[in-house]
């Protein structure tokens, strides 16, 4: 006997409420967030007052959704705007549980669809990032919606699927892969339709109508409708080179890389290397419970019993398409957040073995109806506990450390002048400090129209300009830095992000007499944030080079 709509609604509300507890655990509204969230919120503020330019790095979909919620706000504190974005991302992430249930209904009955919804709701990686204000929650919501509608076998649903596929590209550049997925599934569903080609032409028209504003705007700003900053810098082949002042990423591309390094090296680096890193990180983010279910689910999916074989094939299609679309970017940028869009579809596979065992039992044992419900409850309880235990492994933002980081950023801005190289996110709060000290800038912020991601206010406003220099050694960075007027290097006790050889400066500053320490957080009484800043003495550097 199936569940009533009321029972399903109640259970989904319970699952969502429990999931919300996990997500809200990491929502610390008193601490400002930097990184991508900073840019998203600034763009949303610009959109709210009519500046609809596009940045070279981020797509406009998520900021456009945030913008209406920021319009009524008039605050001189940036954190107020950030908190709106973070709360909204948490809400979107929680709301995605319902579309996940609806998608699962294409593969399972109500009971097992609730299990699939719970697998998504208690997934610890998604819960940790849900309140960060990033675009991943919206991306997952839209990709689930597009896939759900394309599985329907009526024309109107196909139109909605292509419309959502277009909007997916508004959220993240790799969303372009969805047009391939929905097209493949479309031809599987409608191959016997006499008007298949005509209807597909309408679907494509809808898709291109949705993405055309971005294409036109990018062409106006950058002279290329498909311009994305990382698109021309990925083929430098090294994440450490991207964004470095002394590295020219313009006019680089796959053909340039192949010409310089050979086709075999390109395949090894970007195809095989990217695939290896994707599979490795997918394995890591499958903990704690998907790692146990996926191997059986993938095997069972090859001989589906209760699932529509076309739907299973479609699920394989979207998983493989996502993996393929990420292979080249992931060869250079191993950011596991990019893999979060896999979760809904891997969960479909992971639910199959749960259904198989509970519904059919084992060779020597089968469940009664009462035992099936009990088994379901036990499975959900195990998933909940495993998700809870794993999510607690993540460290919450430390208010004390963040306060010290902000104080350090204020010192940098008020006491130093010139270009500073940050070796490890030490001055991540400098743009935030600049923005807070010019509150009118929040309301009048205009989007950067240059090709580099961090040109213009608030990144280069103030006495200190953040920059980075690529090099193979301390001496190499200093030598190159002189050409670009590099004046300071900031190094954290936790270590450099890319150039690990810089760590030696923190521990053995006496080995580098051409670096004069101008700041030490320990000497300032900091308890948690350990950072040193050194000023480069180029005259002494050259003298030592001559002697050496």
Alpha helices in 96-135 (DSSP H): 97-104, 110-121, 124-129
Q: Determine if residue 491 is left, alpha or beta; phi over 0 gives left, psi from -120 to 50 gives alpha, anything else beta.
A: beta
What does the block give as tokens for 281? 């990180």
pLDDT attached to residue 446: 81
Structure tokens at 203: 């679907």
What's the number of CA atoms in the CB half-sphere (13 Å) around residue 478?
22
- The angle subtended at Cα 378 by Cα 376 and Cα 383, nearest 5°, is 95
Is the pLDDT at 457 greater than 50, yes or no?
no
- pLDDT: is 11 or 365 the higher one? 11
Greater model confidence, 368 or 266: 266
**Is residue 33 very low, low, confident or very high in pLDDT (cuts 50, 70, 90)?**
confident
Minimum mean pLDDT range among 95-104, 184-193, 270-279, 412-421:
184-193
Percent helix, strand and coil across the chain, each to the nearest 5 = 65, 5, 30
Please state, rounded to an integer, the average pLDDT across all residues of the chain. 91
Closest CA to 467 of 401, 421, 517: 421
**SS3 call for 422:** strand
Question: Global pTM?
Answer: 0.94
Mean per-residue pLDDT, 444-468? 68
pLDDT in tens, 476-505: 999 999 999 999 999 999 988 889 999 999
Q: The tokens of 246 are what?
A: 């002394």
Task: Round to whole Å and give the CA distance between 274 and 230.
Answer: 16
What confidence category does residue 238 fall into, taking pLDDT thresholds of 50, 70 and 90?
confident
- Residue 106 is predicted with a pLDDT of 97
* Cβ atoms of residues 179 and 209 within 8 Å: no
The mean pLDDT value for 211-235 works out to: 87
Contacts of 489 (CB under 8 A, 6+ apart): 420, 421, 423, 477, 502, 505, 515, 533, 534, 536
Query: How far apart are alpha carbons 76 and 86 in whole angstroms?
Result: 18
Question: Look-up: residue for tokens 């800043």?
Answer: 533
Cβ partners under 8 Å of residue 409, min gap 6: 427, 428, 429, 430, 432, 433
Residues 6+ apart with CB under 8 A from 349: 293, 294, 297, 298, 301, 315, 319
What's the farthest any 2 CA atoms get from each other in the chain? 87
- Burial tier of 503 (Cβ tally within 10 Å: 0-12, 13-18, 19+): middle
Residue 381 has pLDDT above 60, yes or no: yes
* Assigned token pair, 181: 């997925």
List the chain domain ranges: 5-391, 399-547
pLDDT of residue 315: 98
Distance CA 433, CA 159 (A): 46
The count of other CB atoms within 10 Å of the CB of residue 529 is 22
For tokens 């499958």, the residue is 286
Task: For residue range 286-312, list pLDDT tens digits in order.
Answer: 999 999 999 999 999 999 889 999 999
The gap from C-alpha 214 to its chain's centroid, in whole angstroms, comes to 20
Would you say residue 1 has pLDDT above 70?
no
Taking the CA of residue 383 as centre, how many other CA atoms within 13 Å lie in the half-sphere pointing to its CB? 28
Residue 507: what pLDDT? 92
The span from the CA of 119 to the CA of 380, in Å, is: 8
- For the cut 90, the answer to whether the pLDDT of residue 547 exceeds it is no
pLDDT on residue 324: 95
Say whether pLDDT at 428 is over 90: no
Q: Mean pLDDT across the stretch 30-37?
A: 88
């Amino acid at each position: 006997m199936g569940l009533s709509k009321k029972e399903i609604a109640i259970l989904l509300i319970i699952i969502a409420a429990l999931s919300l507890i996990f997500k809200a655990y990491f929502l610390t509204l008193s601490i400002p967030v930097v990184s991508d969230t900073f840019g998203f919120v600034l763009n949303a503020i610009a959109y709210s007052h009519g500046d609809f330019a596009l940045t070279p790095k981020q797509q406009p979909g998520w900021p456009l959704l945030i913008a209406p919620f920021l319009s009524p706000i008039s605050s001189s504190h940036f954190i107020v705007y950030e908190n709106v974005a973070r709360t909204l991302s948490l809400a979107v992430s929680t709301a995605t549980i319902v579309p996940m249930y609806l998608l699962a209904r294409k593969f399972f009955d109500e009971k097992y669809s609730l299990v699939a919804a719970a697998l998504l709701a208690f997934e610890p990686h998604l819960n940790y990032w849900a309140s960060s204000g990033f675009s991943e929650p919206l991306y997952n919501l839209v990709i689930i919606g597009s896939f759900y509608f394309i599985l329907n076998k009526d024309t109107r649903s196909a139109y909605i699927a292509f419309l959502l596929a277009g909007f997916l590209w508004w959220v993240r550049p790799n969303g372009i892969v969805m047009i391939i997925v929905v097209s493949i599934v479309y031809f599987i569903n409608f191959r016997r339709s006499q008007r298949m080609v005509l209807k597909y032409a309408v679907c494509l028209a809808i898709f291109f109508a949705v993405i055309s504003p971005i294409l036109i705007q990018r062409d106006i700003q950058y002279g290329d409708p498909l311009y994305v900053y990382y698109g021309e810098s990925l083929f430098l082949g090294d994440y450490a080179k991207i964004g470095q002042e002394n590295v020219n990423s313009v006019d680089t591309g796959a053909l340039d890389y192949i010409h310089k390094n050979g086709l075999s090296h390109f395949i090894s680096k970007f195809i095989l290397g990217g695939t290896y890193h994707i599979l490795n990180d997918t394995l890591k983010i499958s903990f704690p419970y998907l790692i146990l279910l996926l191997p059986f689910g993938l095997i069972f999916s090859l001989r589906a019993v209760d699932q529509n074989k076309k739907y299973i094939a479609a699920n394989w299609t979207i998983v493989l398409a996502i993996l393929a679309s990420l292979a080249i970017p992931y060869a250079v940028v191993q950011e596991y957040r990019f893999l979060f869009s896999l979760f809904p579809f891997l969960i479909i596979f992971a639910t199959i073995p749960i259904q198989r065992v509970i519904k059919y039992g084992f060779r020597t044992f089968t469940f009664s109806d009462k035992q099936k419900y009990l088994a379901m409850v036990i499975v959900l309880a195990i998933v909940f506990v495993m998700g809870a235990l794993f999510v607690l492994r993540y460290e919450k933002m430390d208010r004390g450390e963040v306060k010290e980081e902000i104080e350090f950023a204020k010192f940098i801005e008020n006491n130093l002048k010139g270009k500073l190289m940050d070796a490890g996110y030490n001055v991540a709060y400098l743009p935030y400090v600049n923005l807070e000290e010019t509150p009118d800038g929040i309301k009048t912020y205009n989007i950067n129209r240059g090709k580099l991601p961090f040109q213009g206010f608030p990144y280069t406003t103030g006495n200190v300009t953040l920059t980075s220099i690529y090099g193979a050694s301390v001496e190499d960075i200093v030598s190159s830095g002189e050409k670009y007027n590099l004046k300071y290097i900031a190094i954290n006790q936790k270590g450099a992000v890319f150039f690990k050889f810089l760590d030696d400066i923190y521990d053995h500053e006496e080995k580098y007499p051409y670096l004069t320490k101008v700041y030490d957080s320990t000497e300032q009484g900091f308890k948690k944030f350990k950072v040193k800043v050194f000023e480069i003495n180029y005259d002494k550097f050259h003298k030592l080079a001559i002697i050496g």
